[in-house]
Chains A and B, each alone.
Chain A
Amino acid sequence: MANPAPASTRGLAITEHRLANGLRVVLSEDHLTPVTAVCLWYDVGSRHEVKGRTGLAHLFEHLMFQGSANVSNNGHFELVQGAGGSLNGTTSFERTNYFETMPAHQLELALWLEADRMGSLLAALDDASMENQRDVVKNERRQRYDNVPYGTAFEKLTALSFPDGHPYHHTPIGSMADLDAATLEDAREFFRTNYAPNNAVLSIVGDLDPEQTIAWVEKYFGTIPAHDGKQPPRDGALPEVIGQEIRELVQEDVPSRALMAAYRLPHDGTREADAADLALTILGSGESSRLYSRLVRRDRTAVTAGFGLLRLSGAPSLGWLDVKTSGDATIEQIETAVDEELARFAAEGPSAEELERAQAQIEREWLDRLTTVAGRADELCRYAVLFGDPKLLNDALGKVLDVTADEVKAVAAARLRPDNRAVLVYEPTTTDDAAETEDEEAAA
């Protein structure tokens, strides 16, 4: 075979259940390794936050680790790690997830812990936890965004891409002012509104006995009352294209000039989004991509050049361009070259070989995500929460491989245009003498 496909693109065995209180449960058995992943997606993210309370969904996620009726402050971490498990939670625009990967014989503990906080978090939530985690989250913001060069680019470009008042205008980390303003009562209300069994999907993947697992889920989660406090998120609908370029110049103490842009792209879950993924892969993912070849290899005007896709289902997805200049190259040079490459791609479409390469790359990324039980559990929740059916997972890769060159060309022509992007330009404020600076090494 010319390009034999990986064997494990075959489907996972997936079963679905629903408790009387509305909790959706997805199981997938795999006995190769004695580990089991538990993943719980709550259908709430930063898009559900209101003005003046940005960052609340993420701050709240931290509070979920501060104890509940039968679990002490930090007990969740202590019990899972003490059982040989690993755990965490993350917050994005569209959802909040919590996950534990356990040695298979400790699965029941993870279910007990997740049920306890789903049903009784407010019994333990107090001012001390709130004040402490507010400080931790502010330090998370400083470490990841405020204290690193270009660290706030994501926030700035998101704000340019989605208009003021749009549910995706702000990023999950939130603003310092809003983090300061959040009250204990806000957190309580957030829990009462959004944390309910009928607003969640629980997936369990790995070395498990399905009957026993469902019995445990019923035992621990079955009596948590459903409620319908949650309002649908504000409408994220926007026109397919922006209509005119939006642009912001940032003058900061950064090491080099940078051209970043966000293009408005089709919603996640559509065939057009898969076509856009392929277009961005061909243009800007990897060292054989068009932008890398042009800017880094041939023109030598850039030190890095790439495209990424931020898939969003409740608002247009974003195609993320990031180019850092090399030496004295100007933004104008970079922008001219990028526009030429995008226009050429929109006119010609991908070559057969480019499409094959991009599909093979996406296939490997997909295999990589599904190689662990935790990765599979997260993807099952994603398809269940965002698209209503976890079994869509088994068709997802096939859909990407089915996209044609014409479809890739069409989405590039329609969307990768200067009038459909928000642009962020960085110009350094100081011109450090590069010859005096040196490399240094990571210690961890």
Chain B
Amino acid sequence: MTDPTPTMTFHPQPTAGTPAPWAFPAPERTTLANGLTVLHCHRPGQQLVAVEIQLDAPLAAEPDGLDGIANILSRALSEGTDTLTAEEYAGELERAGATLDAHADHPGIRVSLEVPASRLERGLTLLADALRAPALPEDEIERLVANRLDEIVHEQANPARRAAKALYATLFEEADRLSRPRSGTADTVKNITRAAVQSFYADHVRPATATAVVVGDLTGIDLDALLEATLGGWTAAPTAAGTHAPVSADDAGRVVIVDRPGSVQTQLLIGRIGPDRHDPLWAAQILGTYCLGGTLTSRLDRVLREEKGYTYGVRAFAQPLRSNAEGSGRALIAISGSVDTASTAPALADTWTILRTLAAKGLTDDERDEAVQFLVGVAPLKYETAGSVAATLADQVEQYLPDDYQAEIYRQLAALDTAAATAAVVAAFPPDRLVTVLVGDASVIADQVRELGIGEVTVIS
């Protein structure tokens, strides 16, 4: 074949130099006089300091009929304090060049502050005020409730959100908080009042059951004194830490189609539950799951995207849901992505073929090697910013894991063999124990999906 491109001089593919040693940062752990646990970590050069506050306010503790109150409280924390109105508080944060985000999830409420190191004191003071003395004003709570009701309508129009909602609803028992939307439904959110939010705050926002994680360039900062002067002023009577009920789920193979007439794509979410990060096989499961669906050269995308063109990308992952100190918590294990409507059944058929082939023949050594090199090698990049280190440390606390957990996972990953990775991913994704949720045009896809034999098909609207 003649090629019109002018030629260049080619050289052999270069070999790597000597790697620099790197380890996941080890935090220092202290406790303030008010009982607040503090983890901190100095990261030279990271001028944006990240602060994560983990509050023991799990969704399972929400009062009956008030699903979503933890979410409303998390937003209300930044709607004014004993000295600042809601607008003034927002203005002061912005003046400090800070951002404050809060969200409520099954393990608890997380409040995340990012602020330039030069203004850390101002940022911590504002954060402490929000935790210590939030005004929780009536009119702002009303507005947050109304806002939330509007958002629910928008989320309903989003195929990925709808798929997740349907999966959780079918996977878990109705009585388990996990089965219901994290931020509540219209029926529960509309009943949330200021009094209920104040009461939820009083019960769950207490320093003795909370943890603060501070990461960034702390050069020249007397952190202990700064924390005592800010977060140290937050007081409340100590309380017993919450307990977390065991999780069970029905993962018998079945299909739920959420009808979305006219959809040009079908959103796929194929899931079940498995052990959480306490499981001794967690590192092997990370490795095997990456080989299945971690990137566009993994098994799923190699076929669904790069051979067939059915999708922009499909990913396999595991996400801890609710953990406990005993280590019997659970994680959602899933495959997620979207495919053009006409390719729905063919893409599912290929997915099951990939899973069955994986179970029958296992991973190859080359796949294992490339995955380990990526997962371990990419760690210095993944944890370059203060925010990513702080979030990981706070996750560990929230999931009852030791502070050196992530560092230990990297040590394990480097040593795992192909058979261990295969065993873990095959155990995580058994083809007959997967619940498939499809958000798409049922009139086009339902009959073809029934013929696949991946489980009984139910259509909901």
Contacts and interface: CB of A to CB of B under 8 A. Distances in A.
A5 to B, nearest CB: 6
B107 to A, nearest CB: 14
Contacts of B141: none
B275 interface: no
A223 to B, nearest CB: 4
A207 B20 contact: yes
A441 interface: yes
A374 B332 CA distance: 32
Contacts of B162: 440
Nearest to A37: B381
Contact of B16 (A105, A132, A293): A105
Interface in A427-444: 432, 434-444
B436 to A, nearest CB: 13
B8 to A, nearest CB: 4
Interface stretch (B27-35, B197-205, B226-234, B336-344): B336-344
Interface stretch (A81-89, A159-167, A265-273, A383-391): A81-89
Give the interface residue-count category, chain B: 35 or more
B353 to A, nearest CB: 19
A70 B13 contact: yes
B181 A6 contact: no
A399 B191 CA distance: 50
Interface in B361-395: 369-370, 373-374, 376-381, 384-386
Contacts of A249: none
B90 A286 contact: yes
Interface in A102-143: 103-109, 112, 115-116, 119-123, 131-136, 138-140, 142-143
Contacts of B154: 149, 255-256, 303, 324
Contacts of A241: none
B292 to A, nearest CB: 15
A281 to B, nearest CB: 9
Nearest to B9: A223
B19 A34 contact: yes
A371 B48 contact: yes
Contact of B381 (A69, A85, A255): A85
Contacts of A83: 16, 373, 377
A289 B301 CA distance: 43
B235 interface: no
B19 A256 contact: no
A220 B13 CA distance: 10
A32 interface: yes
Contact of A326 (B68, B91, B147, B185): B147
B44 A32 contact: yes
Given A138-B340, A220-B11, A297-B86, A443 B271 contact: yes
Contacts of A322: none
A439 B183 contact: yes
- Indicate the size class of the contact surface on chain A: 35 or more
B252 interface: no
A64 B96 CA distance: 43
A256 B114 contact: no
Contact of B13 (A109, A146, A148, A353): A109
B151 A143 contact: no
A81 B294 CA distance: 11
A364 B186 contact: no
A356 B92 CA distance: 10
Contact of B155 (A32, A73, A143, A440): A440
A257 to B, nearest CB: 11
B181 A441 contact: yes
Contact of A371 (B5, B47, B262): B47
A8 B147 CA distance: 38
Query: What are the 9 tightest A-B residue pairs by CB atom distance, in nearest-first order?
Result: A84-B377, A440-B165, A135-B309, A34-B20, A6-B116, A105-B17, A439-B181, A364-B97, A360-B97
Interface of B: 3-6, 8-11, 13-14, 16-20, 22, 44-48, 68, 78, 86-87, 90-91, 93-99, 114-119, 143, 146-147, 149-168, 181-187, 189, 262-265, 269, 271, 295-297, 302, 305-312, 315, 317, 319, 332, 334, 336, 338-340, 369-370, 373-374, 376-381, 384-386
Given A5-B116, A192-B4, 16 more contacts: A6-B47, A103-B377, A109-B14, A133-B309, A139-B339, A147-B264, A220-B11, A255-B154, A255-B157, A327-B150, A367-B116, A437-B153, A439-B184, A443-B163, A443-B336, A444-B334
Interface of A: 3-8, 30, 32-35, 69-70, 73-74, 77-79, 81-86, 101, 103-109, 112, 115-116, 119-123, 131-136, 138-140, 142-144, 146-149, 192, 207, 216, 219-220, 223-225, 227, 253-256, 286-288, 293, 296-297, 300, 303, 324, 326-327, 353, 356-358, 360-361, 363-364, 367-368, 371-374, 432, 434-444
